[in-house]
Chains A and B, each alone.
Chain A
Amino acid sequence: MKNLFFTVATTLSIVSVSYLLPSIFPGERAKILSDVGSEIRLVACSATNARTSSLRNAELVSNIVNGLPQDVHIMLLVNDRSAFATSSNNRRVTFVEMPRKSDISIWPQDPFVVVQGPSTTKLITPCSFNREDDERMPAQLAGMLNLEVIHSEMHFEGGNIVCGEDSVFIGYDTIQHNAVVLEATPQQIVKRFSKLFGRPVVVVGESIQEVGHIDLIVTPLRGRKVAVADSRAGARLAASAVDRQPDDVLDFETRCEQMYFGREDVTELTDRDGKKIIRPNVVGQTKAAISASLQIAPALDRIARQLSRAGYSVVRIPALIPDQGSTPQDDAGQGTNDASKRYPFLSYSNVLVEMRHNQPLVYLPHYGFEAMDQAALRAWDELGFQVKPVPGFATSAMYGGGLRCCTKVLLRN
């Protein structure tokens, strides 16, 4: 009788422990898809057209598709399929039609993150996302790929989250915003993000962000290595180009300005609400961008030091960063409220990285500022990366985004 009681008690204990074990030791949990890793297999992009959008990117999408290897499949989000034709039926591109009359941006990076478990892929959306109808993107992709969409209670934008091999990096503003909105301490928010994304969280920055999204300035690399943008180096390179190749710089500025609406002769357009959009003034603005880059450099240095203190080996990549505030600068470097002065954000950190055939490879946006593009190419090359430039990002950069912003990696091999 005593033995029987002992057996039953032991069995009950085992049952209880077994029940609790999965929550104590979660095992292989779902994790946010890393920005560093094996070959990219599936990517989402979005294309806008002249009928509905002032920022048309059909040519840029072609560059992205052609810049990625043949075995990468692209899910191309469009809100008006009839607006587009392709050279022929292309095996690599699947059109994903958004609901009729929905308006989308060219930035699929932001409205969701991809989380992968051993046997599942989920798209996690933020609590709310208010940019055009971009919040519909994950649902459309999930519908096409039969994936699950999880609506999170957290507030985030994919561009302010980058993921290394071990940790996920989240911009300071995202943590603070959630702390205020969810009435929690930043530490609690970090824990919640860590649980949601299945990886430890590193908060990037210790004060309000100077750059809206950290993926423009921080690139996780393999191991405990991170690349941080160096706008001081970028300013030096640009200043040297202004001195030595002024015609090239002028040519770049002129092309940025002329191609803003995709056609040289278009200087202004009216948006859906009847508001005039005026072509920005870029010619002569490189000096102001240099000045702004120098101003922002200490903030980037602080981020580099912070990550270094956190145990990461930090390398720097040049960048030319125009003024990020609401007061663009005039020729004399003074703040003005002239919104028509919009200079492209030349980020060489907003990239896609992968290991292909055991070789680290970076897909690097090029903007047409030859001296800067080449310097960035050399910087990545010196880091041991094979570099695949993807041209045509000047206009996209005038709206503040590079290659990573224009894409969302959904699957790696």
Chain B
Amino acid sequence: MKTKQIFFNAATVCMVALAVLMTQAMFNGAVHADQRNDAAGGDLRQRVADLEDQQDENDIEFVLIDRTLADLNLRINANDADIRALDGRGKALGDRVNRLDARCKNLQEQQDALAAMVKRLSARK
């Protein structure tokens, strides 16, 4: 009877241990199910090494050149063109103002002459 009891207890312990191991394995997987195994520690390092392998040379000095400096010149030239256009428009506007001013003076003179004529005619009466 005692042997049977010991055997049974041993079997129980074994079952429990097995259950623990299986459950841990099962749920551990579930906890990390949302994580893709891209493996930062190892694989990201490996991917960096792969990227380096794809490139052949290893310069001591790295020089990055902006080839679009010409575009900067274009942008500056565009600005200059804008400024020139604005300047031209300003001059044209100035000319128009001067012309208007001259016309205005001319009209003023005509008005003065008419006023003088009216005055003279009034005096004859």
Contacts and interface: CB of A to CB of B under 8 A. Distances in A.
Given A51-B68, A120-B38, A146-B47, A14 B19 contact: yes
B63 interface: yes
B122 interface: no
B23 A49 contact: no
A6 B12 contact: yes
Interface string A246-277: 00000000000000011101101110000000
Contact of B75 (A62, A145, A270): A270
B51 interface: yes
Contact of A58 (B27, B60, B65, B82): B65
Contact of A62 (B15, B62, B79): B62
Contacts of A410: 44
B8 A263 contact: no
Contacts of B23: 14-15, 18-19
Contacts of B68: 49-52, 80, 83
B69 to A, nearest CB: 5
A84 B45 contact: no
Given A14-B16, A15-B23, A120 B40 contact: yes
B56 A89 contact: yes
B67 A85 contact: yes
A65 B40 contact: no
Contact of A86 (B12, B38, B60, B65): B65
Contacts of A147: 38, 40, 44
A117 B35 contact: yes
A192 interface: no
Pick the most buried of A7, A47, A56, A80: most chain B CB atoms within 10 A of its CB.
A7
Interface residues of A, number: 66
A25 to B, nearest CB: 11
A47 B64 CA distance: 9
A56 B37 contact: no
A93 interface: yes
B55 A50 contact: no
A94 interface: yes
Contacts of A14: 16, 19-20, 23
A207 interface: no
A26 B42 CA distance: 22
Contacts of B63: 62, 86-87
Given A84-B65, A148-B35, A148-B36, A121 B44 contact: yes
Contacts of A83: 66-68
B76 interface: yes
A148 B38 contact: yes
B48 interface: yes
Given A7-B15, A120-B38, A89 B64 contact: no
Contacts of B61: 66, 87
A10 interface: yes
A41 interface: yes
6 contacts: A19-B27, A82-B67, A84-B66, A86-B63, A86-B65, A94-B51
Interface of B: 8, 11-12, 15-16, 19-20, 23-24, 27-28, 31, 35-45, 47-48, 51-52, 55-69, 71-72, 75-76, 78-79, 82
Closest 3 CB pairs of A and B: A121-B40, A50-B72, A51-B68
Interface of A: 3, 6-7, 10-11, 14-15, 18-19, 21-23, 30, 41-42, 47, 49-52, 56, 58-59, 61-62, 65-66, 70, 73, 76, 80, 82-94, 116-122, 145-148, 261-263, 265-266, 268-270, 410-411, 413
Given A49-B68, A266-B76, 5 more contacts: A49-B71, A58-B65, A83-B66, A87-B62, A146-B43
